[in-house]
Amino acid sequence: MAGRLQGKTALVTAAGQGMGRAAVLAFAREGARVIATDLKAELLAGMPREVATSPLDVLDDAAVQAFVERTGAVDILFNCAGYVHQGSILDCGIDDWDFSFDLNVRSMFVTTKAMLPKMIAAGGGVILNMASVLGSHKAAPNRLAYAASKAAVAALTVALAEELKGEGILVNAVAPSTLDTPANRAAMPKADVAKWVSLDDAAEAICHLASPSNRATSGALLPLYGRA
């Protein structure tokens, strides 16, 4: 159903590639005005005219706060920035662990905390977080830091939804298994990609959670396992 997000404004982090870019394009197709941000501004090239682009380092607290002050309230915030550390606990240094939690969890906290007062003052909205089946539904070899940080994302989502009851803001997360992205294909050339989740299918789930047709679901972690 086209036009589900007509008149809405969406902000997407890590929008230059992968799931972030797919969400931006899906939001725009559904009629939203989209603000696409990424640490690497060059990755934001080629966006549709409905999409405004801006570089943003979500690990820079002051930059996030200043960006939100300039942007003002949005109807949809999609916290998509993330990092996958590969390795066991013995391979994971303290810096790797800290970076995983800083980018995968802390950046969501900082961005959401900056935007929330404006969303509440504007009458509500939707917050969507990028989680994973790892850490919330299962484990996998060599993904310890990633799974632990995504488990924290799941807990953050549920707790925030509880806190915001009565504020007109729905908070949910999508939790895909392996996404069919160029980066994942390059990293796992021998994998059976037919079992992966397509970006189009994941974007459709995100659009549903962001749309007015979702009037009550909050605090949900939506697992996406693909069609195979």
Active site residues: 146
Give whole-number Cα distances, 161 to 28, 95, 215, in Å.
26, 30, 13
- Rg of the Cα trace of the chain? 17
- Secondary structure of 169-193 in the HEC alphabet? EEEEEEEECCECCHHHHHHCCCCCH
Whether 217 contacts 172, CB under 8 Å? yes
Instruction: Please state, in angstroms and rounded to a whole number, the distance separating the CA atoms of residues 208 and 75.
Output: 14
Tokens representing residue 93 in the block: 């240094």
Q: How far apart are CA 92 and CA 64, in angstroms?
A: 28
Q: Which residues pair with 143 in a beta bridge?
A: 87
Helix, strand, or coil (residue 33): strand
Closest by CA to 133, choosing from 143, 123, 120, 119, is: 143
Helices (H), the chain: 18-29, 61-71, 94-101, 107-121, 144-163, 182-187, 199-210
